[in-house]
Chain A
Amino acid sequence: MRKTFIVAKHEFLATVKTKGFIFSLILPLLILLPMVFAMGFIPQTISETPQNIGFVDETGTLQTSDNFIKFGDVGNAKKALLENEINSFFVLPANYFETGKISVYSKGGFFSSRPTSSIEAFLMDNLLRESDLDETLKERIKEPANEEVITLNEKGEVEEKSGVGFFIPYVIAFVLVFAIMSSSGYLMQGIVAEKENKTVEILLSSLSANELLSGKILGFGSAGLLQVLVWICSGGIILFLSPFASLFHGIQISWILILAIVYFILGYLLFAGSMACVAAPASTVRDAQQGAVIFTMLGILPMILLSVIIKAPNSGIAKVLTYVPYTTSVTTLMRIALVEVPIYELVASLSILAISVLIMIKLSAKIFKTGILMYGKKLKIKDIFRYLRE
């Protein structure tokens, strides 16, 4: 055990000190920060600046109000627009009531926005003023639906899920697939690199192949877990400080996080074992990558079938993916995001995954021990069955 931890420490430090790893920690933030900024702050800035809108009314219906300035003809309005006295103006033609058509004039430019909704609200105010409807009714016409969405589960009970709550496990699923893939990828490269630089034989004269493999799995896995935690925490902090923070108020994410971590650990062990099986007998990183393609494809399959799972989280295909060891981690977390997954399915998914992990660890230890000193030979399927029988 002591030697396993020494190897784990060595691999962990060697991984987290690489430029690639540090970049991978910052990369999602580099993407997320501008996105949050673009989605949150820019529209706010624009809407906070009062817009002066001019209008030319050929029907004689509209009245001037706060930001809406009346012009006698299009020429004057254009002049005011060009001199920046107004941000835009529109023309209500004489036949407006028959066609509903208006012309909106604004200046071009990257940040210019057409004030369609403001104009619509202004027109509605003026049109309703003309009618003799009840004031309450007028208010309802202006704002016909103040929505509250209630989701029912299969038993007809109300599910306590916020509209934004689904977003969190969804992101976790993405983070999960990336973290599992990248840390098992690091493991694969680490094994082949040690084989290429011929240090593996020195190591095996100091510790057993099992200790070496478990140290590596632990070391690279910890680096992967660190990656997940950094992403989740920094993403959380950014969202908390962003204008969307209020949307996440009161959402319980602790159990989702715990489940995500359990799925990360089990999913990682499965992929790590598989990667060790292809990396140990390989002579170069390229050989190993070719062997790993099948596992990588399985790993990202839930992402490829994303739209199918979102559309029908309880469909046959989604359920099948829940029971396949290589796809269950991500699929189950995505389904949890969308619907209430029955407990028995959750238990089945975790059990299948755990059993597969046990088999894979046993198999990979045997293949690793034999394969790590193999040069220029290929591992055959019959060898794998022999190892499984032993």
Chain B
Amino acid sequence: MGMKEKILDVKNLTKSFDAKKVLDNLSFEVKKGVVFGLLGPNGAGKTTIIRIILDIIRADHGEIKIFGEKFDENLKEKIGYLPEERGLYQKITVLECLKYFAELKNVKKSEDKIDFWLDKVGLRDYKKKKIEGLSKGMQQKIQLVAAFIHSPELLILDEPFSGLDPINTKMVKDILLDLKREGKTIILSTHQMDQVERTCDRILMINRGKRVLYGSLDEIKSNYKESLIVEYEGDLGRIEGVKKINDYGKYAELSLEEDTDPQEILKRLIEIVGVRRFEMKAPSLNEIFIEVVENA
């Protein structure tokens, strides 16, 4: 990993809007061929980082190198971007729209590539249809195609799974994994922690413009105490020795106090509910996310 080429190198990035500091001395790097999760609560500064990387807005301080170089307009052809703010031209056809975006990315023989990608996302039959007639999910897939059409080296996808049903979520996840296998680098900005956990090699979590977690998923998880998973029937209530319960009704994640013995907890649980599953495991990213943000 250490020998791999750096695709993105961000150093001491700072940005304020009026008096509000949105990014505070942020540094991170992304290496070639990884899926990199960019996480943080709403308003943490994720979109601002992405816009600065793409030179859509300028940072107040800091330095960014992409593909080892300072930003240059030509580098945009090596980057594919799916913005969080979704939209397409409504009055033109899928083909016209994708052709325009492809032309701007300097794609030759764009129609072949458009056909290839429309096939891949199952929208070949909609090529000549006007975009306004497509469902929201279909439009999102068209936007993903627009981000992939020029075979970019670096993909920056802001919430790529939001608004997709499970089948399409799986389709998009499979495409991303294919692209990773081809050696593409993917930056994934999302709130969907389960997706991050399953697809990302490394993550950066920011909160109020500051870096709060950074590294590989295993490294991060190893810094957090294991938690207890319980599947049960009944009413859980408060349990002595448990610091925090994330209760879903039939399923709960329990964070134990420092000196609590899990065996003791199991005994107490059996007294109050019907236990169907009892398991110690590393905390989920979701738990870590909630803990980090709440404790900030």
In the assembled complex, the Cα of A206 lies from the Cα of B156 at a distance in Å of 13
In the assembled complex, the Cα of A230 lies from the Cα of B202 at a distance in Å of 60
Given known A-B contacts A3-B104, A6-B103, A6-B104, A204 and B56 have beta carbons under 8 A apart:
yes
Given known A-B contacts A6-B100, A14-B92, A205 and B79 have beta carbons under 8 A apart:
yes
Chain A: minimal CB distance from B104 (Å) = 4
- A residues in contact with B77, CB < 8 Å: 206
User: Which of B85, B90, B101, B105 is within 8 Å of A201, CB to CB?
Assistant: B85
B57 within 8 A of A: yes
Which residue in chain A gives the minimum CB-CB distance to B92?
A14
- B residues in contact with A197, CB < 8 Å: 87-90
Asked if A207 contacts B83 (CB within 8 A), the reply is: no
Asked if A202 contacts B83 (CB within 8 A), the reply is: yes
Asked if B85 contacts A198 (CB within 8 A), the reply is: yes
- B residues in contact with A203, CB < 8 Å: 104
Which residue in chain B gives the minimum CB-CB distance to A204?
B56
Per-residue CB contact flags for chain A residues 85-100 toward chain B (1 = under 8 Å, else 0) read: 0000000000000000
Which residue in chain A gives the minimum CB-CB distance to B106?
A2
In the assembled complex, the Cα of A209 lies from the Cα of B56 at a distance in Å of 8
Asked if B51 contacts A206 (CB within 8 A), the reply is: no
- B residues in contact with A196, CB < 8 Å: 87
B146 within 8 A of A: yes
Asked if B88 contacts A207 (CB within 8 A), the reply is: no
Chain B, 39-89, CB within 8 A of any chain A CB: 51, 54-57, 73, 76-77, 79, 81, 83, 85-89
B143 within 8 A of A: yes
Chain A: minimal CB distance from B14 (Å) = 18
A307 within 8 A of B: no
Which residue in chain A gives the minimum CB-CB distance to B81?
A205
> Interface size of B by Cβ–Cβ distance < 8 Å?
26
User: Which of A7, A204, A211 is within 8 Å of B54, CB to CB?
Assistant: A204
Asked if B100 contacts A201 (CB within 8 A), the reply is: no
Chain B: minimal CB distance from A280 (Å) = 13
A126 within 8 A of B: no
Asked if B103 contacts A205 (CB within 8 A), the reply is: no
A142 within 8 A of B: no
Asked if A373 contacts B76 (CB within 8 A), the reply is: no
- B residues in contact with A201, CB < 8 Å: 51, 56, 81, 83, 85
Asked if B54 contacts A205 (CB within 8 A), the reply is: yes
User: Which of A6, A198, A199, A205 is within 8 Å of B76, CB to CB?
Assistant: A205
Chain B: minimal CB distance from A103 (Å) = 67
Asked if B104 contacts A198 (CB within 8 A), the reply is: no
Chain A, 174-189, CB within 8 A of any chain B CB: none
Which residue in chain A gives the minimum CB-CB distance to B82?
A202
Asked if A205 contacts B56 (CB within 8 A), the reply is: yes
- A residues in contact with B54, CB < 8 Å: 204-205
User: Which of B51, B86, B88 is within 8 Å of A373, CB to CB?
Assistant: B51
A208 within 8 A of B: yes
Asked if B76 contacts A202 (CB within 8 A), the reply is: no
In the assembled complex, the Cα of A208 lies from the Cα of B83 at a distance in Å of 16
A249 within 8 A of B: no
A10 within 8 A of B: yes
User: Which of A14, A198, A202, A209 is within 8 Å of B146, CB to CB?
Assistant: A202
- A residues in contact with B85, CB < 8 Å: 198, 201
Chain B: minimal CB distance from A362 (Å) = 17
- A residues in contact with B88, CB < 8 Å: 197, 199
- B residues in contact with A6, CB < 8 Å: 100, 103-104
Asked if B101 contacts A207 (CB within 8 A), the reply is: no
Chain A: minimal CB distance from B236 (Å) = 43
In the assembled complex, the Cα of A206 lies from the Cα of B80 at a distance in Å of 9
Asked if A208 contacts B92 (CB within 8 A), the reply is: no
Chain A: minimal CB distance from B253 (Å) = 37
Given known A-B contacts A10-B100, A204-B54, A206-B104, A199 and B87 have beta carbons under 8 A apart:
yes
In the assembled complex, the Cα of A24 lies from the Cα of B268 at a distance in Å of 81
Known contacts A199-B89, A201-B81, A204-B54; 16 additional CB pairs below 8 A are A6-B104, A7-B104, A10-B100, A197-B89, A198-B83, A198-B87, A201-B83, A202-B143, A204-B56, A205-B54, A205-B56, A205-B79, A206-B77, A206-B101, A207-B73, A211-B73
